Every structure is written in structure tokens, then in C-alpha cells.
Amino acid sequence: MPDVEMKDITMRWGNVIAAEDVNLKIQDGEYVTILGPSGCGKTTLVRIIAGILKQTKGGVYIDGKNMADVPTEERDIGYVFQNIALFPHLDVMENVSYGPRVRDVKKPEWERISHKYLELVKLLDKMKMFPSELCGGEQQKVSLARALSTGARLLLLDEPLSALDARVRVDLRYELRRLVKSLGLTTLHVTHDQEEAMSVSDRIVLMRSGRIVESDTPETMYMRPKSIFAAYFIGETNLLEGSIKKTDAAATTVELRDGTLIEVATTDFREGDPVVISVRPEYVYPAVAGIHAIVSSVTFVGTHFRIVAVADSDDKVEFDVPATVEREYNKGDDVNLTIDKRSAIVYARTPGELGEATKLE
Amino acid sequence: MKRTERLVNFVSGRKFRKSWYAFIIAFFLIFVILPTVYVLTYTYTQWNAIQSNVLDNKETVDMILGAIAASFEIAAIVTIIDFVVGLPMAWMLVRKKFRGKNLLDTLIDMPLAVPTAALGFSSAIFWAATPSAMNAPPFALGAITSPMLLIILLHIVFSYPYMVRSLAAILEQIDETYEIAGQTLGASKLTAVRTITLPLFRAGLVTGIILCFSRSLSETGGTMIALSTMANSAGFNTGPTLIGTWKKLSGSNPELIPQLAFVSILLIIIALVLLVILKLVVMKVRLPMGKIWPTPEKILSRGLVPKMKDGFTVLFLAFFILIPSFFIFSFVATSSAAVGDWGPFLNSLGYSFAIAAIVTVIDLALGIPLALYISRNPSKKISHSLDILVNVPLIVPTAALGFSLGQFWTDQSLIPSVPTLLIILAHVAFTYPLVVRNVTGAMEEIDPSYEETARTLGAKPIQGFRRVLYPMIKSSILAGSIMAFTRSLGETGATQAVVSDVVTAPVYIVQLVNTNQYYLAGLACIILIIVSYAAMLLLRYLTRRKQGAL
């Protein structure tokens, strides 16, 4: 049963650093997602684990064994590619049976194995078709069956759903987790889609510019992110700049740039500290008093209206109102907003850091 | 301003464009295709003569069949060897990163810059046992006494770059992910390459095979020179050299025409049949995945074997391609200088250049429109059949093509049979496809939406071509025209077969060798090499700059 450990992995291409001092341990049977904006080095990491790339420094251990001299084909992994990469000249059955056959499994046995995994992804009836005759979702399912048919206990998924249509992507997400969990595999899934990461994984590893920023369960990562970057990248959030006005055991009060005072749950900051409040749109409500703002746009999203307003403190605030609400919002309207005290998180603010933290590339 | 506008409007008019394209296609059919295969009608019109002069004469039949069999055997062996040694080289160039890769890349193309007449002389001095009058340098190998083996070695030299280039081109387009996917599934490197990459490779393989095979089949000048350079070629002939020899004699002996026709017909028919087989059959056959031998293939994938393979590949390039190509320099350097009359050679060189220049201009003016027509025709059927027809003059041996074309124009007496005009027409016939294929290839890579965008912005088709398309296909046009130019410059077979008494530079070199003036022949070769190489460098310089700009 495999666990995977990366120790001090660094990957350089000339002057470009794709990964730097990455340490990550994945437990046996765990479903871990590496999440991050494009170019953050996440695909580089799985490719290093698979042995497709050779790291500049550091070591990969699968099941405690150093992989330094083990070529890709002997690492016993299943790998699903973003561009699907089904062999175009082989039919579905030949694609799925490729793994067992190159491992010298004899005919009745590889037929049985391929049937089993095609059955699992419910595509047994298409086994004589060629990849080009299948739609995107089916192709990726075949590619998953192909990766599983090697009997590998470690599955590496490199942006497996990004080439697919929105609807198929969502359906396949649940299918993926169900399959992987029922087979008890250790899985490392790479994606830039935070919603996907939250709905499939046991644990999310957030990466940025070649480094791991944070690692936690999806719930914690969403509810109590430890960094502004995590708060901003996972889900949506409003960032309000200010400084600590007063703090005691009961609550902390933050003064925004226009002097508006906001009370949040108590923090360890001291009076005068520059801070940023992060509060998700779903915890911002219209009220009779509170932060005064002017509506700058109203967008109908279906289940609700998304309203963007600019507060007197110059901070942009987004919030949602149900489509059924009596009051009608228009551009230019005055609104007063309050926030949920327990859901707001306060971060230290260093000059210029906010722009840096919210830069995605 | 008004006048150019009116002109643009005129050439953009439906009527003009229709008749322009009709003209282009008519030109292609009447001046290129028809003369190329004209001699086939002799099987009908001249059958009696062929019957009495050739078929009833067992000795002649044996000679013809022997020469043709030799031609195809040589072409087949050369193609197979090219593939076996060309594939690892293409692989190194595309998939591997190493120091000196650019140098290797340039070295591969070197033999392309050398006209085959010079190559033939150069390799023969290096490989073959030569007559003592020749004074080959002491470090020449001088070991080959079999004419067949010598010709095979020679043909490998000039066909190898074609194979490597076509394989590399297609390899570049095959996504490496497939191979990596195979490896993640547990296949060793060799297994993955054999079961996945190679089957995806067929298109490039077919192009490579057609190019090598037809080049080897056509080659006349180099082959003739190599045969007359070696000590004892004992009446060995290939199809094209037979045509060259007989055509020369046919001036005084018109009895030889049926024999010439018969050789040409056989060469053309067999070549076309092979083209059809390759194009239609090979592409449709689905290779089964076949057997897999995991353990031996794993052993071959790692450790010393791949390193030895790469080492052998580079050694092959050096020893079998580069040294024979440029051995002529050491020959000239070690020979005692001979005084000769340079007048005839310089005349022939000037003549060759004039022919090559005229031919290239005609190719460009009439080839680019055909390429546009093929690549942008909404009817797949028409463009597909034109595309196949374009390949015909490429695969037909040029000596047979030259003979057929000469007969066509003299039989029909539609044009005055001026030797220079006939030579130009013959050279146009086999270089025209080079321009068309290069430009068609580039056009197929270009998304038609660029032109459509230009049209929506109000550009007339001709303006769209000039401002949008032309800049994008410029380098392919250049590549095509330089290929056409150097091919015309180096051609011997077609020239000899169309008119027997005109002396172009390669024909002149053949004559020098035949009359044992080796030193002068060597110097003439070197001049030809330098001139062609300058053209080649120009091509590399211009195309590289284009890549940089992209």
C-alpha cells in the first residue's frame, strides 16, 4: 500500500524555478489535490513523482523507497493526462489492455482485467470503438480505466477534467472520487479549479510560484484560510483594508480607511496594527446601518443577484441578494452593509502586499 | 491609384479568376503531366517497332530487364538502409537535447548542397577501386569492386538527408505524451516507441520512402560518373544510365528509339504502381499491436544499448555520408594540377545557371497559384486528385521523364524543337512539383480564418494573399524555389534524355570523367559544390530569420 513522500524537491529550468524545497507527504489511501494558479509548478510535481521529469534536487519516496534510479515504467503508477492521450491507433479495448500486456500478462487474464475496468467506468459496450469516435467525457473515462488496469495503487491525475465541458466535468468529478475511494487508491490530483479541488479531495495542497502555501482539509481551507492568498484563491472574498482601533477579550474593532468601525471576533493584533479583513460575499448582508457603499453593478446570476458596491473607504464589496427579495437594486443606489463577525478573518497587512497576494499568475 | 484599383477589381472578378485557374490547371496538365507520361502511348502507337526491335531481341530484353531490376533493387535496398539508420538520427534531432545539436542538424543537410554529379565522383574516389591513371589519394578506401554496391553506397549519401528530414518532420508533430503515457502504463521505452510512436508515424514514413525511392530511382549523373570512375564497372547499367547512353547513340541510330521507349515505359509504370501502393495501401492497413516482448525490450531500453545506438548513428553519418561527400577536396588537393581549357566549363556553368533561373521563375509563377487552388478548393475530390497528380513527376525517374517529354514535343511539333526550350520544359516538369508541394504543405498549416478575416475587413482575394497569406508562406516559397533551383542545376538524366548534345555543367563533368580528365572534373565539382552551397546557406539564413521573427 503506497504512501508518497517528497523531500526538499527543487526543480529549475535554467533560471526559472518551477518548484522550490517542496516537502509533501501523502498517506496511504488519501485523496490529495494540488491546487494553484497556472504556472505555479503543480504539474511539475506530479511529473516528478511519475519520473517523467527529473528533479534538480531532493528525493521522491514511494512506499518508503527512493525512486532516484527507478524509471517511469517501474514506478507502478497510474497516470491520467490533461490532454487524455488515448492511443489514437488502438481501440478502447486495446488501450485499456495496454498496461497488462506490456507487463507480460497473458491473454485470458488481460481480457478479464480490461473488462473489469471498462465495466467499472460503464463503457464495456464501446470497447471496439476508437478514441476519435468517443466524446470527451467517455475518452477521459477510458483513459482512467487504462490507468487503473495496470493494478497501480497510486493514481496521479494531471488536470484530468480541464479539457472537458462544464457539465461533464462536474459529473465526472463525483464519479472519480467514488471510483478511487471504492478501490482504496492513493490519489494525487492536480487542478487549477478550486471548486473541483474542494469537492473531490480529503486534503488540499495550495501552491504558488513553486512553493506550497498551505495544506488542509477543504472545509478548513475555506472557512479558516491561513493566508490572504488562500482566502482569495479558494472561493470568493472581499478584502477590506484598515487598522486595529481597539481589541479586548470580547471583540476586536477595525477602523477602515474612511473611519468606519467594524467589529470582528477577537484577535491577537495590537492597537494600531495595519490589517486586512477577509469576508466572503455570503457573509455580507444589506442592513439599515453599517458600511456605507454605492452600488456599482448588479448582475443576475439565476439563483440570486450579485451586487458589487464601492464603500466610502474605497474598498470593493460584493454580496448576494436572493432573486425574490422585495427591494430592487440599481446602479448608483446607496446601501448599508454589515458582515458576519465570526466569519470574517483578519490578516496582517504589509504595504503593497495586498496586490501581491491577489495576483494570480 | 485609380488604375491599380481597376486592376485589382479586374483580377478579383469572378470571370478573371475562373479563367486564370483554368489556365493554371491546363498548364499543369499539358506541360507537366501529359509529357511526363506521354511515352506510355507508345505501347499502343509504336507497338510493332517495340515488338520487332526489343521484344524479339533476347539480348536487348535481358539488358533492359537487368538494368531495371538493378534500379529497383538499388532503390529498395537504399530506402531500407536509409530508414534503419535515419530513424535513430531523426529521433536524436527531435527528442534529445545535447550540445552540438545545431551542428549535427546542419551536417545532415550538407549532401543536399552537393550536386549528385559531384557526389558521384567524390564517393567513387573514396570507396571504389579506381584505375591507376586516376591517382586517387593513398588514404582513399579503394576497396569496392562491385558496381552495384558502389551505387548503393552513393545513393545512400544523397537520399539519407531526405529520409531524416521527413521522419523528423513527422516526429515533431507526434505528441510525446503518447509515449510517456505508454511508459506510465509500464512499457519500456523501446516497447512504447515500437507499439505507439511508430504506428503513428506512417504518413512521414510514406513521404520519406517516396522521396528516397524516387531519388534513387531517378539518379543518373552521379551514377554514370561513379561507374566510369571505378576501375571495372563491366557494363553495369541502371535504367536511367541505360537511357542516357542510348539517347546519346540515338542521334546517329534512330533504331534505338523503341528501346528507349520501352525502358522509359517500364520505369514509369513500375514507379507509378509503387506510388499507388504506398499512397493507398500502406495508409489504410491497420497495424495490429502485435506481440510484445517485455523483458528483452526492457533490456534493450536501458544501459549501454541506447548509447551505442546513438554512437553508431553519428558514426554512420560521418563515415558513410559526410566523408564520401567531400572526399573530392582531398582528391583535388593531392592531385598534380593539370592545365585545361576552362572556357567550355564556364560556358556550361553559365548555361546551367540560366536554365535553372528561368525554370525557377516559371515554377514560382505557375506553381504558387496551383498550390493555392489545391489547398483552398472546397471540393476535396478535385484537390485530392490534383495532389496525387503533382506527385507523378516526382516519382517518375527523370531520365524516363526527359525522354518521354522530348518525344512528346517533337512528335506533336506544337512548338519548335529548340534544345534549350525542351530542356527548360523538362526541368520545369520535375521541379514544378517541388514548389507546389512546399507551398501546399505550408498552406495546409494555415487556418483559412486569417484570409476570411481579411475578406471581412474588405480585402479583395488578391490583396488578402499579398498582405496576409504571402508573409506567412514566404519561407516555404523560398524553400521550394531553392530546391527547384538546385535540382535543376544538378540534373543530368533528364537533360541527357531530352536532347543528347546540349552540355550543362553536370553533363560536362560526366564528359570530363569519361575522357579521364579527372583533375579538371574534380575542380569543376568543387566549383559546383561551392555555388550550390552558397545557395543553401542563403536558404538557411532566410528561413532561420523567419523562425526568429515568429
Query: What is the DSSP track for A103-114?
Result: TT--HHHHHHHH
pLDDT value of position B547: 45
Q: How many CB pairs under 8 A join A and B?
A: 78
Cα distances (Å, whole numbers) of residue B501 to A2, B98, B429: 81, 51, 20
B113 pLDDT above the threshold of 90: no
What's A208's DSSP letter?
A: E
Domain residue extents for chain B: 26-549
Burial class (CB in 10 A: 0-12, 13-18, 19+), B134: buried
Task: Show the domains of chain A with their CATH numbers.
Answer: 4-229 (3.40.50.300), 236-357 (no CATH)
Give the residue from B439, B52, B398 showing the smallest Cα distance to B214.
B398
- What is the nearest CA distance from A73 to chain B, expressed in angstroms? 4
pLDDT value of position B549: 37
Contact A102 B286 (CB under 8 A): no
State chain A's maximal CA–CA distance in angstroms.
Answer: 77
pLDDT value of position B539: 64
Cα distances (Å, whole numbers) of residue B449 to B412, B446, B452, B455, B460: 45, 8, 5, 9, 15
pLDDT value of position B288: 54
Which among B177, B187, B292 has CB closest to A85? B177
Mean pLDDT, all residues of chain A = 89
Which among A50, A88, A101 has CB closest to B184? A50
Confidence of residue B548 (pLDDT cuts 50, 70, 90): very low
Which among B186, B289, B302 has CB closest to A103? B186
Per-residue pLDDT tens digits for B358-395 = 999 999 999 999 998 888 877 788 888 888 888 888 88
Contact A98 B302 (CB under 8 A): no
Secondary structure of B337-380 in the HEC alphabet? CCCCCCHHHHHHHHHHHHHHHHHHHHHHHHHHHHHHHHHHCCCH
pLDDT value of position A358: 66
pLDDT value of position B334: 83
Contact B185 A74 (CB under 8 A): no
pLDDT value of position B544: 61
Identify the helix (H) or strand (E) that includes residue A17. strand A16-26
Share of chain B above pLDDT 90, in %: 13
Distance, CA of A47 to CA of A54 (rounded, Å):
8
CB atoms within 10 A of CB A132: 8
Taking CB atoms and an 8 Å cutoff, what residues of chain B touch A101? 289, 292
Per-residue pLDDT tens digits for B302-328 = 777 888 888 898 999 988 988 988 888
Q: CA-based angle B520:B521:B524, to the nearest 5?
A: 85
Cell reading at A269: 493584533
Task: Provide the CB-side half-sphere exposure for B168 (13 A, CA).
Answer: 20
Residue B510 near residue B117, CB atoms below 8 Å: yes
Contact B184 A78 (CB under 8 A): yes
Contact B186 A50 (CB under 8 A): no
Confidence of residue A106 (pLDDT cuts 50, 70, 90): confident
Share of chain B above pLDDT 70, in %: 94
Lowest mean pLDDT among A75-79, A198-202, B143-147: B143-147
Per-residue pLDDT, averaged over B433-439, amounts to 87
pLDDT value of position B197: 84
Contact A73 B187 (CB under 8 A): yes
Which residues of chain A approach chain B closer than 8 Å at the C-beta? 50, 52, 71-74, 76-79, 81, 83, 85, 87-90, 94, 98-99, 101-104, 146-147, 150, 156
pLDDT value of position A311: 92
Which among A77, A90, A102 has CB closest to B191? A102
pLDDT value of position B550: 33
Burial class (CB in 10 A: 0-12, 13-18, 19+), B548: exposed
Q: With DSSP H G I counted as helix, E B as strand and the rest as coil, what are the percentages for chain B, rounded to 5?
A: 80, 0, 15
Terminal Cα distance for chain A, rounded: 36
Distance, CA of B292 to CA of B294 (rounded, Å):
6
pLDDT value of position A187: 94
Which among A85, A94, A101 has CB closest to B181? A85
- Residue B313 in contact with partner chain A when CB distance is under 8 A: no
- Residue B200 in contact with partner chain A when CB distance is under 8 A: yes
- Residue B283 in contact with partner chain A when CB distance is under 8 A: no
B78 pLDDT above the threshold of 90: yes
B254 pLDDT above the threshold of 60: yes
Does B26-549 carry CATH code 3.40.50.300? no
Distance, CA of A140 to CA of A83 (rounded, Å):
9
Contact B184 A104 (CB under 8 A): no
Distance, CA of B527 to CA of A96 (rounded, Å):
60
Q: Which one is predicted more confidently, B533 or A318?
A: A318
- What is the nearest CA distance from A76 to chain B, expressed in angstroms? 7
pLDDT value of position B282: 66
Residue B148 near residue B70, CB atoms below 8 Å: yes
Contact A146 B183 (CB under 8 A): no
Range among A65-79, B239-253, B518-532 rated most confident: A65-79
Range among A127-131, A327-331, B107-111 rated most confident: A127-131
Lowest mean pLDDT among A250-254, B442-446, B520-524: B442-446
Which among A71, A77, A89 has CB closest to B199? A89
